[in-house]
Amino acid sequence: MSWGYGKDNGPDTWSKTFKVAAGSKQSPIDIKTHDATFDPNLASKPLVIQYHPEKEVGIFNIGWTFRADMKEKSTLEGGPLDSVYRLEQFHGHWGSGADHGSEHLVDGKSFSGEIHYVHWNQNKYKSYAEAADKDDGLVIIAVFLKVGKENAGFKVVTENIEKIKLKDTSTLVKVDCHPDCLLPNDRSKYWTYPGSLTTPPCHESVTWIVFQEAVEVSEQQIAALRGLSSDKSNVVPLVTNHRPPVPVGSRAVRASFK
């Protein structure tokens, strides 16, 4: 059986196959805001997010989420980063109801979902594949989703989700995609810590940047995501795909704001 989010193949079982899933630098975590240390260096060196529109976008059902692949040279630098990181793809996590679904928590609170923008270190490596298991290989921006008004930019994914209902299917959407559509307005307030991919192979190669401000999407848009199937014959719907938080341990969580 391959890994998933069910009783027999869920997060508690991943470390049997992927040893590092039981490691000390795993993700996600519950961010305790009072334990996060304000770092004035983060405040004085803003994140520089240069995401470029895509003329068309491939979206894929990879069995545990949708994934939108980026071809333009969108980049992320500044803040806690010493290198320039290239945007590879974005994907999402959600739950069976609006009261849960995010992977990271804030003081124990879940959000309705979480978008992950995955970047790789283009100064040191030649590709995502090469960077994925390196200590300084990846940066993931996490954006919390809350139910509210429809997100027009996200319709690129949610209005085409029917076309990728089954695992291993994909579609090329020939409309402009603005990958920044799911970034919050306030990009100055975030937490950062060293962690891992939240899915197997769970490499401990990720600098996390978790924005404080959540972004609104409509109930219908989240419901559309739950319509994906985790298999090739629509047996198991993908109603939930979030890993529960793991211990922070001795890691420092830094905040860019007081």
Spatial CA neighbour of 118 closest among 17, 223, 198: 198
Q: Is residue 178 within 8 Å of 110, Cβ to Cβ?
A: no
List the structure tokens of 84. Answer: 């320039």
Would you say 77 or 88 has its CB closer to Zn ion? Answer: 88
Please work out the total of residues on this chain that contact Zn ion, with binding judged by CB under 5 A.
Answer: 1
Min dist. Cβ of residue 91 to Zn ion (A): 6
Single out the segment in contact with Zn ion by CB under 5 A; choices: 68-76, 108-116, 131-139, 228-236: 108-116
Rounded to a whole number of angstroms, the minimum distance from the CB of residue 131 to Zn ion is 16
The answer to whether residue 243 forms part of the interface with Zn ion (CB under 5 A) is no
| Choice between 96 and 123, CB closer to Zn ion | 96
For residue 212, give the amino acid letter. Q
Segment lying near Zn ion (by CB under 5 A), choices 26-34, 69-77, 113-121, 126-134: 113-121
C-alpha closest to that of 245 among 121, 100, 129, 45: 100
Q: Which of 183, 33, 32, 29 is nearest to 103 (CA)?
A: 29
The site map against Zn ion for 1-40 (x = CB under 5 A) is ----------------------------------------
**Smallest separation (angstroms) from Zn ion to the CB of 28:** 9
Are the beta carbons of 205 and 26 closer than 8 angstroms? Answer: no
Tokens of 167: 């695992």
Q: Identify the residue among 67, 116, 187, 243 touching Zn ion (CB under 5 A).
A: 116
Strand 254-255, strand 37-38: pairing: parallel
Closest residue to Zn ion, based on beta-carbon distance? 116
Q: Which stretch binds Zn ion (CB under 5 A): 27-35, 114-122, 179-187, 204-212?
A: 114-122
Cβ(130)–Cβ(55) under 8 Å? Answer: no
Nearer to Zn ion, 116 or 167 (CB): 116
In a 13 Å sphere around the CA of 181, the CA atoms on its Cβ side amount to: 19
Point out which residues bind Zn ion (CB under 5 A).
Answer: 116
